[in-house]
Chains A and B, each alone.
Chain A
Amino acid sequence: MKSSDQQNSLVHFRFGFVLLLTLVVMALDVRSKFLSDFRYYVESALYPVLVFADSPHSVGKMMSTQFKSHSELIKENEQLSTENFMQRANTLRLKDLEDENQALRKLLNSPVRQNIKRLFAEVVDVDPDPYLSRVTVNRGTSSDVYEGMPVITDKGLVGQVMEANYSFSRVLLLTDPNCQIPVIDSRSSVRAICIGSGSHAEIIINNVPRTADIKEGDMLLTSGIGGVYPKGYPVAIVTSVGISDSQPFAAIKARPLVETDKMRYVLMFGTSSDTPDAEEYALQAKQMTDDKTILHQKKVKDLIDTLSVKKNDKNRNAEKNEDKKSNVGGTND
């Protein structure tokens, strides 16, 4: 009896120790970034387990592609090539529009957008913690993924990178209650902030006055304010606008355009580290918040540019004059 009692008391002691350890580990993990290195390395080492857990889905997909008939493949190929042709045509126009936009932005003294690096990634089909709305994608710091990197699909915005490990990263979905995205109504240009509701089919827009011009069916785009998400990407469509006299704000709900539970491929956006202007671009997010300073800086820069151009012109003119004189001298001789 004594030995079993001792064992029991030891069990209590051991559980107490484990409980204490849990609280310490949790506090260190959540409140400080003390364990982030540990997490980074161990999670990177656990990546094969995630790939193994994803294998039923990937094997199923492989099998379904293997058993596609010849006619189906030809049909799909034709459809894709048509789509590709149309998109190439659109891209030609896009290039022209980009140049025009850049020229117009220069005229308005607005900062010109730099090259953005896009990274194709595949969703690793494993379920995260049920309390969190996140997905795992198969690109990590080895592919220059960083925390805060915006993620999109062909339909719209998905969210941003929350945690980047060596070979995979976790993306915080726009439906997570911790995710807040600055948006703009494409019809009326009303600005708002949308917050995830925890449900994959709904996001909420709080703190919008009842008089704001937001209607059912409006498209919400990213406004680019805050500097995390690039401007102009579709986020959601307004599904309901609840206005009651007793409440100061309208209760607006919207449906995200991306079906986050079904998506398989995503695009990750980032500033390219290869371009020399990367640092300049990184600074622009902060600068954009203060229009006056940026206008001032831009004016100074333009002034310097014009002066230097004038100097160059003067130099060129002087060179030309010299050339002319020499030519004239040459002919006289």
Chain B
Amino acid sequence: MISGKDNRNSFLLLLVPMLFIGLILQIIHLPEVVSLNRPDFLTLIILFFSVYSNFSLKIEISWLVGILLDLATGAPLGINALIISAQIYLITTQFKNFYKYKLWQQIIIVGIINFLVTILCYWIEHIIGRSYYEINFLIPSVSTAVFWPIVYWICLILCSTFSVASDEKENLD
């Protein structure tokens, strides 16, 4: 995209504030209709950076961020950590050329993986005995998928604004 990589900033310059904003977006009070179908902002932000700069500690960082979300929301410790890290793991290992896919294909993958992982975690919560049946999985997953291009473009614009270094592969042209 831009030559002269040595002058570029580290992705951490953007990742840390973006994760903070994502955490706030996850816990901020919204009307009930929106709140029940809230997209998974933290996963989308970490997914963008794991695609953009392919940093090695993505699983661990996503797990830690999930633990922070658990503590902030009062959820059983580890449940959001599992949701986020499992999504990042599945997308980065099972779809190695995720960045080469067309946008609509990426949207479908993000939606399906989010749906699967949410069901897995609902199942775990049910074993723990903390959940109830009247809950929808489909619409939050759809909203997560719909928000993927929006988060992607916002992060991309921010990365180019702050001249953050991308991975060597020319994935985001």
How many contacts A-B (CB < 8 Å)? Answer: 122
User: Does A57 sit at the interface, judged by CB under 8 A?
Assistant: yes
- Give a binary string over A25-43; 1 marks a CB under 8 Å from any B CB, 0 the rest: 1101110000100010011
Kindly state the separation between the CA atoms of A13 and B30 in the bound complex, as whole angstroms: 38
Pairs of residues from A and B, 4 with the lowest C-beta to C-beta distance, nearest first: A129-B75, A29-B77, A125-B29, A26-B78
Kindly state the separation between the CA atoms of A30 and B125 in the bound complex, as whole angstroms: 10
Known: A26-B78, A29-B77, A29-B78. A126 touches B124 (CB 8 A): no
Question: Which residue on B lies nearest to A133, using beta carbons?
Answer: B132
Whether B73 and A129, one on each chain, are in contact in the complex, defined by CB atoms closer than 8 angstroms, is: yes
B: residues with CB less than 8 A from A are: 23-24, 27-30, 32, 35-36, 38, 56, 59-60, 63, 67-68, 70-82, 85-86, 89, 92-93, 122, 124-125, 128, 130-135
- Give a binary string over A1-23; 1 marks a CB under 8 Å from any B CB, 0 the rest: 00000011001101100110111
- B131 surroundings in chain A (CB, below 8 A): 131
Q: How many residues of A contact B (CB 8 A)?
A: 48
Q: Which among A12, A30, A49 is the interface contact of B23 at CB below 8 angstroms?
A: A49
Whether A126 and B59, one on each chain, are in contact in the complex, defined by CB atoms closer than 8 angstroms, is: no
Question: Which residue on B lies nearest to A11, using beta carbons?
Answer: B93
- B36 surroundings in chain A (CB, below 8 A): 130
Known: A15-B59, A130-B35. A177 touches B132 (CB 8 A): yes
Question: Which residue on B lies nearest to A19, using beta carbons?
Answer: B82
User: Does A54 sit at the interface, judged by CB under 8 A?
Assistant: yes
- B132 surroundings in chain A (CB, below 8 A): 131, 177, 197-198
Kindly state the separation between the CA atoms of A11 and B88 in the bound complex, as whole angstroms: 11
7 contacts between A and B (CB under 8 A): A26-B79, A43-B71, A126-B28, A129-B70, A130-B135, A197-B134, A199-B134
- A198 surroundings in chain B (CB, below 8 A): 132-135
Whether B77 and A26, one on each chain, are in contact in the complex, defined by CB atoms closer than 8 angstroms, is: yes
User: Does A97 sit at the interface, judged by CB under 8 A?
Assistant: no
- B28 surroundings in chain A (CB, below 8 A): 53, 56, 126-127
Question: Which residue on A lies nearest to B77, using beta carbons?
Answer: A29
What's the least CB distance linking B72 to chain A, in Å?
Answer: 5
B28, B63, B74 interface centre (most CB from chain A within 10 Å) = B74
Whether B29 and A127, one on each chain, are in contact in the complex, defined by CB atoms closer than 8 angstroms, is: yes
Whether B32 and A46, one on each chain, are in contact in the complex, defined by CB atoms closer than 8 angstroms, is: no
User: Does A84 sit at the interface, judged by CB under 8 A?
Assistant: no
Whether A132 and B74, one on each chain, are in contact in the complex, defined by CB atoms closer than 8 angstroms, is: yes
Whether B85 and A18, one on each chain, are in contact in the complex, defined by CB atoms closer than 8 angstroms, is: yes
Kindly state the separation between the CA atoms of A129 and B77 in the bound complex, as whole angstroms: 11
Whether A14 and B59, one on each chain, are in contact in the complex, defined by CB atoms closer than 8 angstroms, is: yes
Chain A, interface SS category: helix
Kindly state the separation between the CA atoms of A85 and B44 in the bound complex, as whole angstroms: 55
Whether B76 and A52, one on each chain, are in contact in the complex, defined by CB atoms closer than 8 angstroms, is: no
- Give a binary string over A49-67; 1 marks a CB under 8 Å from any B CB, 0 the rest: 1101110110000000000
Question: Which residue on B lies nearest to A29, using beta carbons?
Answer: B77
- B56 surroundings in chain A (CB, below 8 A): 7
Question: Which residue on B lies nearest to A126, using beta carbons?
Answer: B27
User: Does A170 sit at the interface, judged by CB under 8 A?
Assistant: yes
Whether B74 and A134, one on each chain, are in contact in the complex, defined by CB atoms closer than 8 angstroms, is: yes
Known: A42-B71, A126-B28. A18 touches B60 (CB 8 A): yes
- A28 surroundings in chain B (CB, below 8 A): 77
Kindly state the separation between the CA atoms of A177 and B59 in the bound complex, as whole angstroms: 33
Not counting A29-B77, A50-B27, a sample of 7 additional A-B residue pairs whose C-beta atoms are within 8 angstroms of each other reads A15-B59, A18-B81, A22-B78, A29-B76, A129-B70, A132-B74, A197-B134
Q: Which among A11, A23, A50, A178 is the interface contact of B78 at CB below 8 angstroms?
A: A23
Kindly state the separation between the CA atoms of A230 and B6 in the bound complex, as whole angstroms: 68
Kindly state the separation between the CA atoms of A49 and B80 in the bound complex, as whole angstroms: 17
Kindly state the separation between the CA atoms of A216 and B131 in the bound complex, as whole angstroms: 29
Whether B124 and A26, one on each chain, are in contact in the complex, defined by CB atoms closer than 8 angstroms, is: yes
